[in-house]
Chain A
Amino acid sequence: GESVGLHLPTLSVQEGDNSIINCAYSNSASDYFIWYKQESGKGPQFIIDIRSNMDKRQGQRVTVLLNKTVKHLSLQIAATQPGDSAVYFCAENREGSGNTGKLIFGQGTTLQVKP
């Protein structure tokens, strides 16, 4: 399954399939990007980050791709599991200062995993 842009709020995928969540960021000067996962009633949980000097970074079952030309970020989740169901936010740091806390967040995509 795949979401497009910032305006598709929900992505529904079958358990075991790969998921792709997309995000468009706003500031060409941003040099640090993060994906967070938020479960209902909890704070966002860090998934993976990437600096602007990289195009791709892999974690455990997750990959982040950065396309600076079109200011686009994506999160790929391999073999999606029911525990992956949550809201996923992309975020960019706003000043390129190395300060990782002053972030601009997207509106989020809800990932629903069907058993």
Chain B
Amino acid sequence: DGGITQSPKYLFRKEGQNVTLSCEQNLNHDAMYWYRQDPGQGLRLIYYSQIVNDFQKGDIAEGYSVSREKKESFPLTVTSAQKNPTAFYLCASSPLGTYNSPLHFGNGTRLTVT
């Protein structure tokens, strides 16, 4: 059963701590993405990667970092530099260069920082 797995579903951290959110996909997609969703808002792009060992900043990359060491995995680190880290984080994947397969999302990690 192919899909995207995000873990954990809920995460709690103290202010000033870095935290890493996991994202794994078994869809054999080349591209992976991290989006952030705030209450009552649409999604905003944090980072994306189109190939292993390469990634680009999205619209709101400040205070976040990523890595792409394997095709299947795209972890997101929320650093202490992120001013408002409490949010719902969504990982997604898609093939490249085709309109035939839209962006496929995981079920998210809800991060609360106090």
The reply to whether B92 and A101 contact each other, CB–CB distance below 8 Å, is yes
Across-interface contacts of A9 in B (CB, < 8 A): 40
Q: At the interface with chain B, which of A44-52, A64-72, A75-83?
A: A44-52
Residue of A nearest to B31 (CB): A101
Q: Given A44-B90, A44-B105, A106-B42 in contact, is the A100-B48 Cβ separation under 8 Å?
A: no
Interface string of A20-42 (1 = CB under 8 A from B): 00000000000010101000011
The reply to whether B42 and A105 contact each other, CB–CB distance below 8 Å, is yes
The answer to the question of A99 belonging to the interface, with a C-beta cut-off of 8 Å to chain B, is: yes
Residue of A nearest to B91 (CB): A43
The answer to the question of B2 belonging to the interface, with a C-beta cut-off of 8 Å to chain A, is: no
Query: Could you tell me how many residues of chain A have their Cβ less than 8 Å away from some Cβ of chain B?
Result: 25
Interface string of B56-71 (1 = CB under 8 A from A): 0010000000000000
User: Bound complex: CA of A45 vs CA of B108, how far in Å?
Assistant: 12
Across-interface contacts of B48 in A (CB, < 8 A): 101-102
Across-interface contacts of B44 in A (CB, < 8 A): 105
User: In the complex, what's the smallest C-beta–C-beta distance from A28 to chain B, in angstroms?
Assistant: 18
The reply to whether A49 and B102 contact each other, CB–CB distance below 8 Å, is yes
The reply to whether A100 and B42 contact each other, CB–CB distance below 8 Å, is no
The answer to the question of A62 belonging to the interface, with a C-beta cut-off of 8 Å to chain B, is: no
The reply to whether B97 and A46 contact each other, CB–CB distance below 8 Å, is no
A99 contacts which of B90, B96, B108 (Cβ < 8 Å)?
A: B96
User: Bound complex: CA of A38 vs CA of B81, how far in Å?
Assistant: 30
Across-interface contacts of A108 in B (CB, < 8 A): 40-42
Across-interface contacts of B97 in A (CB, < 8 A): 97-99
Residue of A nearest to B33 (CB): A101
The reply to whether B31 and A99 contact each other, CB–CB distance below 8 Å, is yes
User: In the complex, what's the smallest C-beta–C-beta distance from A43 to chain B, in angstroms?
Assistant: 3
Across-interface contacts of B110 in A (CB, < 8 A): 41
21 A-B pairs with C-beta separation under 8 A: A36-B105, A43-B6, A43-B105, A43-B106, A44-B43, A46-B102, A51-B99, A91-B42, A97-B97, A98-B97, A98-B98, A98-B99, A99-B94, A100-B99, A100-B103, A101-B92, A101-B94, A102-B58, A103-B43, A105-B44, A107-B41
